[in-house]
Structure 1
Amino acid sequence: MTFLGQSTDRYSSSPWRDPEDDSLRLECGVFGVFGVRDAAAIAALGLHALQHRGQEACGIAAFDGNRFHTERHMGHVGDAFTGADLVQRLPGNMAIGHTRYSTAGGSFIRNVQPMFADLETGGVAIAHNGNLTNFLTLRERLVQEGAIFQSTSDSEAILHLIARSRKAKIVDRFVDAISQIEGGYALVAITNKKMIGVRDPLGIRPLVLGDLDGKPVLASETCALDMIGARFVRDIEHGEMVVIEETGITSTKPFQTAPARPCVFEYVYFARPDSVVNGRSVYGVRKRMGMNLAKETGVEADVVVPVPDSGVPAALGYAQQSGLPFEMGIIRNHYVGRTFIQPTQGVRELGVRMKHSPNRAVLAGKRVVLIDDSIVRGTTSLKIVRMVREAGAKEVHLRSASPPIKWPDFYGIDMPEREQLLAANKSLEEMARFLEVDSLGFLSVDGLYDALEAGQRDPATPQFTDHYFTGDYPTRLTDREIAEGRNETNDKQLSLLVSA
């Protein structure tokens, strides 16, 4: 299906990922530092801590008081930004950085951030985490007005909106631009004199403010602050824009006031366990998810085994609540390259064993409770279940530490369309048969909210972005609605032609 010259599959699972890989991916992480010597080196360290948010590409932009310097690379931060000459290549006392995994637009260097443009008011570099749900609509309008796009990234649309604004001051241009975008996002930018951070009106994507020896830092997660020895100051609030200058930090809220709805999947899967997101310890939330999972779906068994690494905290909580022993029955290989090419079906079938190996001494002859953070299409889960059985497990009881995923995401998570989501198309019993398990259980939505210490979910006033479980999308899906409307019109026209 095409729309505005692009495939609307930008909303579905990225075609550049391994088709056998069933794990979820978040689009990216952002980092910014202002007023420090060798800012690019600090940014590189911060990006190391955010590598889990995007392992496909990375970039840094720095300003030395006269010129902007940018580098963008495919691959990991550690491969791209090393060497004693880093600060010579990227000099300056302010810098922003980005780690990327493409959910849309493709795996090309032209789509790697930060993106830079020379405007009449001076240079601007911008890095963006999330997804604009009206990007295609904006892009079509901008192209019709004469804009020339160099990439297929929605981040570039923000630059065009800033450039085309008629406001005199750069901050006002930012406000003008972000007032036209929709979706979930956190962005950082640098100009000739300022660093700017913005979080979307609902706070779907995270952004925090830190302090490094009196100098401000912006980052997607607190773990990046820990990496550079910075102090956590506070979360950037939903709908807030902070402008950082030599004279200090100013805060404005340019959007219409709305209740915050941060993405609940930050706690389920994306954020590092040692991060604190919106005031909550990710590790603590995941352990409580496991404890509630044991209360809701307990089963007689011999051992609790996590699917590493993201299933470990929940499995610890499950084991503590159930009184069953916790064991590392699956060992993860951390040295598997993401670009490994699997040339034949036979090798692809063995792909899961590259990342996970069974610990037979733990599994043989045991009734195993297997804990994973979530189940998407079920393809990887099925392979892991078979691997555990082949290692001698007597029974396998699979438990998901999140509720069933029934709806796709449009805010920066690489997630399949609804037709490919296991829980959207099969009953619990059908899923259990498909996954070849003795029993299957999911954490309830109320159990998840309880783990977040948020009480029960009130459909009238939900506290989180949780549409993947509930179908309750927090914003308009402008591009999606237009695309579906055009499809409906095309179907009607085709029906008329056939009947004629």
Structure 2
Amino acid sequence: MSDAIKHECGLAFIRLRKPFSYYQQKYGTVFYGLNKLYLLMEKQHNRGQDGAGVAAVKLDTEPGVPFMHRVRSSAPQAIGDVFSKIRDEIQEIEKYQPEITKYPGLMKGHIKFLGELLMGHLRYATQGKNNVELCHPFVRYNTIPARNLAMAGNFNLVNADELFKFTDVNPGEVHKNSDLAAMLETVHHFLCKEDEVRRNGLDIKHILQQAFSLFDGGYHAAGLIGTGDAFVIRDPNGIRPSYYYVNDDVIVAASERAAIRTTFNVGENEVLELMPGHALIVKSNGEYAIEKIIEPKERKACSFERIYFSRGNDEKIYKERTALGRNLSGTVLKAIDNDLRNTIFSFIPNTAEVAFYGLLKGLEDYLNKIKIERILSWGNDVDPEKLSEMVNRRIRIDKIAIKDVKMRTFITEDSSRNEMVQHVYDITYGTVRPGVDTLVVIDDSIVRGTTLKESIVKMLDRLGPKKIIIVSSAPQIRYPDCYGIDMSKMGDFVAFQAAIALLKEQGKEHILQEAYGLCKELERTNTLHAQNVVKNVYKLFTPEEISAKIAQILNPGGIGAEIEVIYQSIESLHEACPNNLGDWYFTGNYPTPGGNRVVNKAFMNFMEGKNERGY
């Protein structure tokens, strides 16, 4: 993705179902669980690079012995930093008390994170703060084991303020905008109430039903309780992804299916999807159940997971990204007037590569059809040289753009910084025939368009193409996200900028004021959640008109090439990703009322000149 956006976090959960001596005997190490947790987190490192954390709970500890531990880091290599801290403690034991290493029970007593319950988290700083205090897991400690709670997750809640009021908790300056803090306090509130009346252990299902019925957002969250109970839960719309795997040795959950498959070397059908509104509840004795916590609603699994966020080594995601590219081939052929001889195709590194292969397959299908038609039209008059030329025709592809080292500049002046930004990418010289070739490059999506305008377009123009066509495998991003992706400011979206420009050009700026006035009225009546007012800004224009204006915005000026922008259609997106129909950032159709409130608030912030998040 040319415009890097911060997005969903990653979650990893492991419950060891056997004694540590079992793992030492079967797998040759007492650290089987920790090793697997590390792998599970590393295989999801794409989901969060601003921080990491691990929590562990030990079963059956002696009274007074700590049983819940946590370590977090916001270092540049956070996963490595977290596990180096765990490793340091292990190495100290091995160095100074080597006799202990022969006895798994003693190892458990001496090493903090040698617990039967393990939870890991990878964080992107969606609140804009890379602060270790905001890294998951969050923990609520208590002298009563049943009231100890550690939680982590991949989510955003849009009603955190209401939850803090409900629990009568003042979260403090650091955590006042933290939705995990709000979730933790709410779950802990009901956990304590349950503990007050419990007779035969905690009813985890009842606790979750009470707490999660209050949450507005998309979530995949996990919790460890001091009793040894644990849970993993998914929102009722299935917005955030959640997968689990169970065998006799372990119970595992994670944000991505492929991470579990790779870590435990299991087949696709062995890793199951946790269904919307359901929870994986693990009891202290190692038994588990899948329970319906909230009545499932219309499935709105995040389509961005398939377009970009999840790793593409999942076979279904790979096929879907290929389909996204293939679906664009007809539109691209029309844009180049079917002139494949004078067109070069490439992609913007690196995550658009799979969609590029799909686009290429669609183009090859067209070219092969043309080859067959031409050869058949010759009848018996076949010239070997002419036939050879036709058979050997290929789609022209080259790796045009190369992402260079991460550029940093000590210069704060805007013009100088913009000049430095141009060099984030580099080009392959000699690939384009100046003034003759059209250059088509595919990107995952176009959010702000800043990197395209300030870097990529200028860079590609140095090759001298007649025309540059930017193809997005995603539709136009028009609205904020409030369920896990850090896209919350209307002014950041180049599609919104294009709509504003069109309204101004056509003398229809009054529509903005009318929309703003309606938002203020909804706010006054406490019904800001009732409708998405911002749809009114776009409704006068076709997607093609918006795309044409975006092309003008992305033209930095002073270049020789004509610029065109092509987007995926909503219909083609749904065709390629039929099980992930969450498309609110494209359509404005939010799955929860809080989404409408967020988009309207973001619009009001824009109109009032406030550079603030919409939630």
* Deviations 1:170-195 (CA, angstroms, capped at 9, x unpaired): 61323322121111010112223123
The correspondence of residues 77-476 of structure 1 with structure 2, limited to 5 A, is 77-83=78-84, 84-85=87-88, 88=111, 90-104=113-127, 106-119=129-142, 120=144, 121-142=146-167, 145-149=168-172, 151=175, 152-165=177-190, 166-168=193-195, 169=202, 171=204, 172-192=206-226, 193-211=228-246, 214-231=249-266, 232-245=270-283, 246-275=285-314, 281-298=316-333, 299=336, 300=339, 301-323=342-364, 324-333=395-404, 336=406, 343-345=412-414, 348-350=417-419, 352=421, 355-363=424-432, 365=434, 366-382=437-453, 383-426=455-498, 427-436=546-555, 437-453=562-578, 464-476=581-593
Matched residue of 1:70: which SS? strand
CA contact (8 A) 1:336 1:354 kept: no
> Aligned-pair RMSD on alpha carbons?
2.9
Which SS does the other structure have where 1:362 is aligned? coil
Deviations for 1:287-310, whole angstroms, at most 9, x for unmatched residues? 111111112332235221111111
Higher share in helix: 2
Instruction: Look up the SS of the partner of 1:125 in the other structure.
Output: strand
CA distance in 1, matches of 2:194, 2:288: 21
Gaps of 5+ in 1: 1-20, 455-462, 492-500
> Which residue does 1:68 correspond to in 2?
68
Structure 1 contact 397–440 (Cα < 8 Å) conserved? yes
CA distance, structure 2, for counterparts of residue 22 and residue 233 of structure 1:
32
1:185-242 Cα deviation digits (max 9, x unpaired): 1011222312310000000000100246631110000232134224342000011011
Answer whether contact 1:319 1:325 (CA < 8 A) is retained. no
Change (3 A) 1:340 1:414: farther
**Alpha-carbon offset, residue 367 of structure 1:** 2.0
Contact (CA 8 Å) 1:41, 1:86: kept in 2 or not?
no
| One-letter identity of the residue aligned with 1:410 | C
> Does the aligned pair in 2 maintain the 1:113–1:127 contact within 8 Å?
yes
Secondary structure in structure 2 of the residue aligned to 1:304: strand
How far 1:352 sits from its partner (Å)?
4.3
Letter in 1 for 2:156: N
Q: Separation in 2 of the partners of 1:353 and 1:106?
A: 27
- 2 CA distance for matches of 1:111 and 1:135? 15
What whole-Å deviation, never above 9, does each CA across 1:300-342 have from its counterpart, x for those lacking one? Answer: 3522111111111111111221132332211224x638x8866
User: CA offset at residue 117 of structure 1?
Assistant: 1.0
Match of 1:23 in 2: 4
TM-score by length of 2: 0.68
* Structure 2 match to 1:9: none
Whether contact under 8 Å (2:467, 2:563) holds in the other structure is yes
CA-to-aligned-CA distance 1:403-422 (integer Å, 9 cap, x gap)? 11111111111114223311
Contact persistence 2:16–2:249 (CA under 8 A) = no
**How far apart, in 2, do the equivalents of 1:139 and 1:293 lie?**
46
Q: Secondary structure at the match of 2:271?
A: strand
User: Cα gap change, 1:355/1:58 in structure 2, threshold over 3 Å: closer, same or farther?
Assistant: farther
Q: Report the more deviating stretch, 305-314 or 412-421.
A: 412-421
Instruction: Kindly provide the CA deviation profile for residues 61-93 of structure 1, in whole angstroms up to 9, marking residues without a partner as x.
Output: 112334112111003344313444365452222
Give me the whole-angstrom Cα distance separating, in 2, the residues matched to 1:251 and 1:293.
40
Letter in 2 for 1:317: G
Q: Say whether the 8 Å CA contact 1:31–1:98 is kept in structure 2.
A: yes
Distance in 2 (CA, whole Å) between partners of 1:341 and 1:240 is 49
Distance 1:116 1:384 in 2: 44
Q: 1:158 to 1:315 in 2, by over 3 A?
A: same
Query: What TM-score do you get using the length of structure 1 for normalisation?
Result: 0.83
Name which of structure 1's ranges 200-209 and 187-196 shifts more when overlaid on structure 2: 187-196
Bigger CA radius of gyration? 2
The 8 Å contact of residues 127 and 188 in structure 1, kept in 2 or not, is answered as yes
Could you say what secondary structure the match of 2:328 adopts? helix
Deviation at 1:347, TM superposition (A): 5.5
Letter in 2 for 1:464: L
Aligned CA distance change for structure 1 residues 346 and 258 (closer, same or farther; 3 Å): same
Structure 2 contact 261–271 (Cα < 8 Å) conserved: no
Cα displacement (A) at 1:362: 3.0
Deviations 1:409-468 (A, max 9, x none): 1111111422331112322222112223532211111111111256xxxxxxxx621011
Give, in whole Å, the separation in 2 of the partners of 1:101 and 1:350. Answer: 28
